[in-house]
């Protein structure tokens, strides 16, 4: 990801030696690194009023350990998400059991790297996570005269659902049969996280066909390793829950192959 400015990154790591090494390498690679020794200290930096008082702008990405004193990484990220903070998070941890990986992604992590790791891999993963973390409401580019599919003017139709992939909005059309029911209602509209929106857009663009796991993983993560595969599984589970109000809609799994959005 080419940039002419330093990217603000919050590194949360209780191992001072490791934190120093990571900070030095990232600083040399174009990042403005802010250090926190544990989750409690990080939360203090990320609470809006505290950050404003300190004159510190919000970081663009968080790289955090899990096992830390006072407040661990899982608790910190859960607290951030409950407060509506959508800053992308990358976990660094020696904990790589299936339950830990699933828990990390279910809390809203964008990636998960096992310790020990290569610094080059960390940098690539950080840039990949930043690249796919889009800002809600960003204008669509290269519009043609006809509205593009997946936009507010021409949303994807998924049974009774409408999906605006540009603004990452999913809403349920009341089953009334009236034309007015096509409008977006604030009570039925959901703002999707960036990753769920991108996965749903891929499935919508290939409605009724099996989309290979490798296509989704390489497009969104840039690799198809164990951790990105687990993350994809978690996001698919979340999307199924969001679409459950219309029983005609299903996201079918094809073990070892891929997923298909069907009506």
pLDDT tens digits along 219-257: 888 777 777 888 888 999 999 999 999 999 999 998 878
How far is it, in rounded angstroms, from Cα 30 to Cα 48? 25
Supply the pLDDT for residue 149: 65
Position 138 in a domain? no
Same domain, 172 and 124: no
Instruction: Give the end-to-end CA distance of the chain in Å, rounded to a whole number.
Output: 37
Same domain, 111 and 163: no
Asked if the model's pLDDT at residue 142 lies above 50, the reply is: no
Position 230 in a domain? yes
Asked if the model's pLDDT at residue 49 lies above 70, the reply is: no
Domain of 101, CATH number, reads 3.40.50.2300
| Total tally of structural domains belonging to the chain | 2
How far is it, in rounded angstroms, from Cα 111 to Cα 168? 20
Supply the pLDDT for residue 36: 93
Same domain, 122 and 19: yes
pTM to 2 decimals? 0.56
Model confidence at 176, pLDDT cuts 50, 70, 90, reads low
Beta strands in the chain (DSSP E): 7-12, 31-36, 61-65, 89-93, 111-114, 156-158, 161-164, 169-172, 189-191, 211-212, 250-254, 258-262
Tokens of 116: 């020990």
Domain of 187, CATH number, reads 1.10.10.10
Q: For a pLDDT cut of 70, what percent of the chain falls above it?
A: 80
Same domain, 102 and 210: no
Model confidence at 175, pLDDT cuts 50, 70, 90, reads low
Position 140 in a domain? no
Position 21 in a domain? yes
How far is it, in rounded angstroms, from Cα 66 to Cα 75? 9
Same domain, 105 and 190: no
Q: For a pLDDT cut of 90, what percent of the chain falls above it?
A: 22
The residue range of the domain holding 86 is: 7-132
**Residue 148 half-sphere exposure toward CB, CA atoms < 13 A:** 14
Sheet (strand 111-114) strand order: 31-36, 7-12, 61-65, 89-93, 111-114
Same domain, 164 and 223: yes
CA–chain centroid gap for 1, Å, is 17
Same domain, 20 and 119: yes
Same domain, 32 and 125: yes
Average pLDDT (195-215) is: 88
Asked if the model's pLDDT at residue 52 lies above 50, the reply is: no
Model confidence at 78, pLDDT cuts 50, 70, 90, reads confident
Asked if the model's pLDDT at residue 180 lies above 50, the reply is: no
Average pLDDT (114-135) is: 77
* Overall residue count recorded for the chain in this entry: 263
Same domain, 99 and 181: no
């Amino acid at each position: 990801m080419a940039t002419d400015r330093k990217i603000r990154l919050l590194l949360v790591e209780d191992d001072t030696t490791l934190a120093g090494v990571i900070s030095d390498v990232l600083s040399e690679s174009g990042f403005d690194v802010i250090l926190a020794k544990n989750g409690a200290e990080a939360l203090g930096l990320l609470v809006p009023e505290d950050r404003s008082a300190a004159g510190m702008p919000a970081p663009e990405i968080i790289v955090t350990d899990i096992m830390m004193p006072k407040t661990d990484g899982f608790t910190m990220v859960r607290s951030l998400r409950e407060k509506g903070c959508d800053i992308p998070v990358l976990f660094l941890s020696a904990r790589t059991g299936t339950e830990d990986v699933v828990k990390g992604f279910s809390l809203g992590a964008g990636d998960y790297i096992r310790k020990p790791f290569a610094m080059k891999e960390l940098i690539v993963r950080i840039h990949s996570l930043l690249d796919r973390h889009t800002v809600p409401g960003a204008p669509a580019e290269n519009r043609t005269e006809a509205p593009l599919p997946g936009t507010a003017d021409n949303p994807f139709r998924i049974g009774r659902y409408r999906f605006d992939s540009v603004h990452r909005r999913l809403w349920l059309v009341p089953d009334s049969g009236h034309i007015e029911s096509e409008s977006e209602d604030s009570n039925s509209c959901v703002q999707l996280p960036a990753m769920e929106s991108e996965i749903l857009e891929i499935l919508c663009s290939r409605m009724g066909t099996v989309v290979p796991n490798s296509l989704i993983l390489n497009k969104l993560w840039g690799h198809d390793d164990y951790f990105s595969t687990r993350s994809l599984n978690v996001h698919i589970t979340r999307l199924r829950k969001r679409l459950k109000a219309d029983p005609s809609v299903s996201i079918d799994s094809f073990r070892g192959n891929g997923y298909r959005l069907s009506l």
